[in-house]
Amino acid sequence: MTRNIPYSKSSIILFITSLFIISCSADKGGENSDDGNNPSLDFEISSTTSSAGKSAISFQTAKDVTKLLISAKSGKNNSIKFTKVNSSNANYLNPGNEELSLAKQATPIVNSINIPSRSIDEALIGSTKFDVEIEVEGTSIEGDQITFSVSSRADTNFNSGSMLINVFYVGAVGLEETTKLAVKEGLNVAQNILSNTGISTSIVEKDITGPVNLPSPFTGSNIYENASKSVSFPAINLFVGGNIDESSDGTILGISAGIPGPATPSVKSAVVVSIFNSAGADGRFSQEDIRILGETFAHESGHYMGLFHPVDFNGSQVAGTDPLTDTESCSFITDCISRQSLIENLMFASPVADGNGGFVAQNKLTNDQKSVLNRYIAVN
Ligand SMILES: [Zn+2]
């Protein structure tokens, strides 16, 4: 869920991404911001974990619900993973042993799953009963009060829709006019990329106080919870900061809190992008830096909406592929970067040098990827 810059801007090879995973969450409900015609938080259920750290709930959707997002949040800051997400006729967690999200991996504090995720996944038709089980990991797993939040929509169009993006300029970043201008241009780039998936976006900008180095949204922070409570949801909450804590080596362009991220306000309701790393060593935004910044906004939002990288690397080897059939795969890095349609994909793990001193534009998405984006709960 991260996007890194290449080791060297002149290199023909790119860089490596550490898949830090993440997932996401939800919490707090009730105070849905606006959007009266489209309740974004349907309900919350609390349940306490057993001595084995397990908890389960069941619920029934309203008959017109076509998509939903379930988040589970630990009350003890444990890591949390889903172990079962079943309707009466489908396994949504890992059908055919395929993981469609990070929901099955234990991640800090909150985790989320969006249903359905792919076009080939069982559609929701009519009122549907769900059985959901989670397990926490940590030092005190018994008696953890888990808050399950369920958000849903009656959206019958999975080919297009609209989505809100809340942009937060954190701390000093908001005081720099040149930075803000670059961000605005980058947002235009991201909006154009998303519009090619059928998703039109509206943007609300806000200045907030906060540190130059932002915490990773993977581990969560009150900064993200407080800010996400102050705006409408569900949405992409895009935090523009100087740097990201995880990025001590200065190579991380952005991080999403999860695949997918939560629909309701929480410590992990965030996508974070580093302005320092996006501007590069010279600290100035060239036109190409701005284009890459916009691609990073869209790439991290893509993770938050449920997309993996088509291929993930471990050194020069491919360590994993996404659960989609029409994204390209490859076996090792030189093979992968020789495939134009792969390196032009928005969700390729990092920018790729074009051999002429610049970088390949990464703005393409496959039909399966578009399907995932249009199924995310924030798209209406
Ligand atoms: Zn990524």
CA of 288 to the centre of ligand 1 (A): 19
Q: Mean pLDDT, to the nearest integer, of 70-86?
A: 98
Orientation of helix 177-195 relative to helix 287-304, angle to 10°: 60
CA of 299 to the centre of ligand 1 (A): 6
CA of 254 to the centre of ligand 1 (A): 8
Within 10 A of 231 (CB to CB), how many other CB atoms are there?
18
Which residues of the chain are in CATH 2.60.120.380 domains?
43-153
CA of 1 to the centre of ligand 1 (A): 4
Residue 136 has phi, psi (to 5 degrees) of: -105, 155
**Looking at residue 31, what is its pLDDT?**
34
Binning pLDDT at 50, 70 and 90, where does residue 1 land? low
Query: Is 36 exposed, middle or buried, given 0-12, 13-18 or 19+ CB atoms closer than 10 A?
Result: exposed
CA of 135 to the centre of ligand 1 (A): 26
Closest to 62 in 3D by CA, of 76, 43, 86, 79: 43
Pick the CATH number of 43-153 from 2.60.120.380, 3.90.1150.10, 2.30.40.10, 2.40.50.140: 2.60.120.380
d(CA 271, CA 190): 14
Q: Mean pLDDT, to the nearest integer, of 8-29?
A: 28
Q: Mean pLDDT, to the nearest integer, of 83-102?
A: 96
CA of 2 to the centre of ligand 1 (A): 4
**Looking at residue 282, what is its pLDDT?**
86
Tokens for 65?
Answer: 């619900």
Q: What is the DSSP letter of 368?
A: H
- Tens of pLDDT, residue by residue over 48-58, are 999 999 999 99
**Looking at residue 41, what is its pLDDT?**
62
Tokens 């993770």: give the residue: 303
CA of 308 to the centre of ligand 1 (A): 7
Query: What sign results for the dihedral spanned by CA atoms 35, 38, 40, 42?
Result: positive
CA of 257 to the centre of ligand 1 (A): 11
CA 192 to chain centre: 18
CA of 300 to the centre of ligand 1 (A): 6
Q: What is the reported pTM?
A: 0.90
Which residues of the chain are in CATH 3.40.390.10 domains?
2-20+160-375
Do the Cβ atoms of 244 and 253 come closer than 8 Å? no
CA of 16 to the centre of ligand 1 (A): 10
What is the CATH number that goes with domain 2-20+160-375?
Answer: 3.40.390.10
CA of 141 to the centre of ligand 1 (A): 31
- Tens of pLDDT, residue by residue over 119-174, are 999 999 999 999 999 999 999 999 999 999 999 999 999 999 999 999 999 998 88
CA of 301 to the centre of ligand 1 (A): 9
- Tens of pLDDT, residue by residue over 178-212, are 999 999 999 999 999 999 999 999 999 999 999 99
CA of 233 to the centre of ligand 1 (A): 23
CA of 252 to the centre of ligand 1 (A): 10
- Tens of pLDDT, residue by residue over 317-361, are 999 999 999 999 998 999 999 999 999 999 999 999 999 999 999
Binning pLDDT at 50, 70 and 90, where does residue 9 land? very low
